Amino acid sequence: MATVMPSAITFDGRTHLITSATLRFDGSDWTLVLTTPEGTTLELYGEADGDRLRLDLRALDELLGHLQGAPITSYPRGQEVCAAFFDVRASEGEGMLLTADFELDWDRALDPPGARYPEPRRVGMRIATG
């Protein structure tokens, strides 16, 4: 029997657990509703792009801002690329496993006074839907 890793988002080396994840499609648009152990509901959304799911950058910024406790404007894979995707594969049962791993640049003008962040900043997401 395979061991199922918990769903989690890692940002700047800090891991944030996800207790439940629900993925819904409306045509090529998708919404991913995440619940934290504290009961907070977070959402990511975007569009299907072939066999990957493109993340809407406003939704990504909201999620990352929540995780760091301050607003952020992010540039996944740098300002020239500025795109992030979930890779999708089948998971145990009827769910899917969504994974994303990327470095990002960000608008430092929004940093709180005295804030220090690692460079480069890194995001890793491993989300199992069910």
pLDDT in tens, 61-110: 999 999 999 999 999 999 889 999 999 998 777 789 999 999 999 999 99
- Where residue 5 falls among pLDDT bands split at 50, 70, 90? low
80-86 contact pairs (CB < 8 A, 24+): 82/57, 83/54, 83/57, 84/54, 84/55, 84/57, 84/60, 84/123, 85/49, 85/52, 85/53, 85/54, 85/55, 86/52, 86/53, 86/55, 86/125, 86/127
> What mean pLDDT is reported for the chain?
92
Q: What pLDDT, on a 0 to 100 scale, did the predictor assign at position 77?
A: 93
Q: What pLDDT, on a 0 to 100 scale, did the predictor assign at position 1?
A: 36
pLDDT digits (tens, 9 = 90+) for 44-75: 999 999 999 999 999 999 999 999 999 999 99
Q: What share of the chain is helix, strand, coil (3-state, %, to 5)?
A: 10, 50, 40
Q: What pLDDT, on a 0 to 100 scale, did the predictor assign at position 108?
A: 92
CA distance 104 to 60: 11
pTM of the complete model: 0.91
Q: What pLDDT, on a 0 to 100 scale, did the predictor assign at position 2?
A: 43
State yes or no: cis peptide before 112, omega within 30 of 0: no
